[in-house]
Structure 1
């Protein structure tokens, strides 16, 4: 029995929920399914399934192995189709992780367009600001924004992201306009919690020197959209990424401030596990995102318009 056949039987067994049903689907004897699973577990040196007479459940090792096996079989089917003269369509499941705010506003529209272009693609989309473990959770691509930590993962830069200092017209009318970054120390700060120093904002002066200003925190939140809503309600001044603030600025709900200074710069990245063979669906999706966002994405165009209008 080949290793690939053992994998196929294991995946079918998990999906069927019983050896009897798996055997029926594969047109083999039930005893053959049980025997192949035992051989696989002996080869791997670990138990993949907890089995009783009435039920079975994946062990921790079994869950990790099952996720990788499903991906292997999907990649194999996709490779067959890619070289087939009958079809050049992508297929299989893309498992994507993205931060919530960026995902809702920009990644979801990109994902839906990609799925319309490739009808046989399925997507499993995890939208959460937590930092996922790509390998352990079987994620194909994670969208990450900011400075990347050193790791064994591969990364491709997709688009730039600038920070914008902004407040509502009502807040500015009541509290005045800051004329320099130092003036922010006299204003109410709406600060992102997932930073080492939420109330310490980084900027660069006209000479390119890196500086910081400490802003009193009135509201701290781990979600940028929450801070944006608070700013629109007139609760204070924020310094948030352009992909969060740009639409409110375009609608006149927020007013950008201190445009003579360059605030914290970062980028959007597609991060994926290292592999000698990147599956066609992953490679094509990353290319698609790079072309869709580019060096002048929608959220940065808003900032350039604000600067140009001064």
Structure 2
């Protein structure tokens, strides 16, 4: 017999370009996805997906299953909401995943304030320098910074965020001239390897001409932890990219200096990601998102 988890699993596949892409979304291996898909097809006695070398397509039966399955999940969610005595109450467990630095300095304190306002909500905050959405242990909300690759998750912008090119005054004083992004080839660059972004491809847009320049750097130092790369730069070891909110204190103190200010790096908005299958959010999620949208920008701007 099919379960709601089987339906959720297949809807994720239906929204993906390939089984490999579906596996990345669910943080499992491609063979695992293929095996479970075969099990569902055996249960139904039909072929749901046509597999090609680099892509997939749904059969007529697969299209029907995805469409009807989405309707069933919606009905189940409606049923849960209708029979719940606490339908409108802001109560229950709330699971949040956040990037490490953002979580320590901003999200953690805001969660404490939120829980004080809504004491019937129990909040669990998990921090990671590479937050991932797990289909098996999915959070209510995952916070994310930067460009999001292929994803079926719902995206809600919480705060705008600029990235800056920075170095310590001690490095600038002893380094070659830097007047154009192409000059980075002669400089010590430090890369932050986070999410699925190409950490060594730095893109610059001239603020007046809007001309875009892409530079492939060769980092002398790299890490998956933002604080480590910032500490290296503070020690005069080279040039970094960092979110403006994360270096506000250093900029004000003069321990880091923005370089190439006439160029703009790609923005890295702070967003909340939610499951695309949940068409009606619980009250606790809606209220928490609203709280973050109101409080987070002011907190980031205040340093």
TM bracket, shorter-chain basis: 0.5 to 0.7
Q: Pairwise CA RMSD of aligned residues?
A: 2.6
Please tell me whether the aligned partners of residues 98 and 131 of structure 2 are also in contact (alpha carbons under 8 angstroms): no
CA distance in 1, matches of 2:291, 2:210: 34
How far the C-alpha of 1:201 sits from its partner, in A, is: 1.0
Provide the TM-score with structure 2 as the length reference. 0.66
Structure 2 vs 1, CA of residues 196 and 156 (structure 1 numbering), >3 Å: closer, same or farther?
A: closer
Cα offset, 1:247, TM superposition: 2.4
Q: CA deviation at 1:135?
A: 3.5
Asked if the contact 2:251/2:257 (under 8 Å) is kept, the reply is: yes
1:138 is matched with 138
1:266 shift after superposition: 2.3
The answer for unaligned runs of 5 or more in structure 1 is 1-44, 46-71, 303-310
- What is the correspondence of 1:68-83 to structure 2 with a 5 Å cutoff? 79-81=84-86, 83=88
Higher Rg of the two aligned structures: 1
1:191 touches 1:219 (CA, 8 Å); kept in 2? Answer: yes
Superposition deviation, residue 200 in structure 1: 2.4
Q: In the alignment, which residue of structure 1 is the partner of 2:217?
A: 215
How much has 1:209 moved relative to structure 2?
2.3
State how far apart, in whole Å, the 2-side matches of 1:79 and 1:284 are.
18
Name the TM-score, length of structure 1 as normaliser.
0.65
User: Kindly tell me: are residues 116 and 190 of structure 1, through their superposed partners in 2, closer, same or farther at Cα, counting changes over 3 Å?
Assistant: same
- SS across alignment from 2:273: strand
1:32-90 alpha-carbon deviations (Å, 9 max, x no partner): xxxxxxxxxxxxx9xxxxxxxxxxxxxxxxxxxxxxxxxx9xx869952455xxxx5x2
Quick one: distance in 2 between partners of 1:242 and 1:106? 14
Give the 3-state SS of the residue equivalent to 1:203 in structure 2: strand
3-state SS of the aligned residue for 1:137?
A: coil
CA contact (8 A) 1:168 1:232 kept: yes
Per-residue CA deviations over 1:139-186 (Å, capped at 9, x if unaligned) read 100001112233332121111121111111111122255222222221
CA contact (8 A) 1:78 1:92 kept: no
Residue aligning to 2:256: 254
Aligned length: 223
Choose the corresponding residue for 1:264, options 255, 263, 266: 266
The DSSP-based 3-state class of the residue aligned with 2:249 is helix
Cα displacement (A) at 1:290: 0.9
Contact 2:189–2:238 (CA under 8 A) maintained in structure 1: yes
1:280–1:227 CA distance, 2 compared to 1 (3 A): same
Question: Which residue does the alignment assign to 1:61?
Answer: none
Residues 237 and 299 (structure 1), Cα distance of their counterparts in 2 relative to 1, 3 Å cut: farther
Runs of 4 or more above 4 Å deviation:
75-79, 297-302
Contact 1:189 1:199 in 2 (8 A): no
The structure whose RCO (Cα within 8 Å, separation 6+) is larger is 2
